[in-house]
Each structure stands twice: as C-alpha cells, then as structure tokens.
C-alpha cells in the first residue's frame, strides 16, 4: 500500500549514465504552486545527493506552463550549476519556446528538439 506523491505522478526522473532527465507530465500545467514546490523538493533531493554531469528537462508532454513552473526550472538550474553542470531543455512546444524567448530564458538554456538530441550533445561534450 503506497500513496502516490505529487512528484511521482507529475515528474519522472531517469539517469542515463552521468546525465539526469526530468520529464514533467501534462499535470504540471494545472498544479498549484504548493504542489509544484513539494514535487520540486522530491525531484531535486536525489540530484542533490548524487549530482548529474548534465540535466535534460524533457518538455515533450507539456504544452504550456506559467511562472510557478519557471521557478522550478530555475531551481533545477541553480542546483546543477553549483556542481559545474549544464541544464538543457528538450521537446519544447512552439508555445513554450515563445514563452522562453519572451522571458529571455532561451538565452539561459540550450533548446533541443528531442531528448535524444540533447543526450547526444552531452555525449559529444565529454
């Protein structure tokens, strides 16, 4: 008997060697600030204890998000940067790309069409 936490329903975290991939589900579009904050704590905890060499945030399941999710992205960025690693975004919709451009966040993170393309980037930078 296990209760589903907000993060287990809304975020999937995988490791591919030294690279971590966080895949938020479409649920994050509707999550309250409190739930995203709780989920962020749970998602980021393993990354704090075992920092990845790179972090890919796969946005392929999300069509749009607001300021609460942007703050989650920035938290991920700050955590990974502390360890000298990079954050990249993959699979962003046109709407998300436009939002990232309007907020100038597209200058902070590299954008890739797919997680495979992002993984290749990390593999080639070794």
More confident call, 57 vs 67: 57
DSSP state at residue 63? S
| Rounded (to 5) percent helix, strand, coil in the chain | 50, 20, 30
SS3 call for 14: strand
The pLDDT-based confidence of 124 (bands split at 50, 70, 90) is confident
Q: CA geometry: angle at 93 spanning 117 and 54, to 5°?
A: 40
Q: What is the pLDDT of residues 74-121, one digit of tens each?
A: 989 998 899 899 999 999 999 999 999 999 999 999 999 999 999 999
How many CB atoms are closer than 10 A to CB 33?
13
20, 48 contact by CB (below 8 A): no
Instruction: Specify the CATH number for 6-124; select among 3.30.750.24, 3.30.360.10, 3.40.1210.10, 3.30.1330.90.
Output: 3.30.750.24
Q: What is the pLDDT of residues 19-57, one digit of tens each?
A: 999 999 998 888 888 888 888 888 889 888 888 999 999
Pairing of strands 11-16, 86-90: unpaired
Q: Quick check: 6 pLDDT over 60?
A: no
**Predicted TM-score of the model (pTM):** 0.88
pLDDT at 22: 95
pLDDT at 4: 41
Report domain extents, the chain.
6-124
């Amino acid at each position: 008997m296990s209760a589903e936490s907000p993060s287990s329903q809304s975020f999937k975290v995988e490791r591919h060697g030294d690279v971590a991939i966080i895949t938020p589900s479409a649920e994050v579009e509707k999550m309250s600030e409190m739930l995203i904050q709780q989920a962020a704590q749970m998602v980021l905890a393993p990354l704090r204890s075992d920092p990845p060499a790179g972090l890919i945030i796969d946005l392929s399941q999300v069509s749009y998000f607001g300021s609460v999710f942007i703050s989650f992205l920035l938290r991920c960025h700050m955590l990974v940067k502390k360890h000298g690693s990079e954050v990249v975004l993959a699979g962003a919709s046109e709407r998300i790309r436009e939002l990232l451009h309007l907020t100038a966040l597209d200058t902070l993170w590299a954008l890739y069409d797919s997680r495979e393309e992002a993984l290749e980037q990390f593999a080639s930078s070794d």
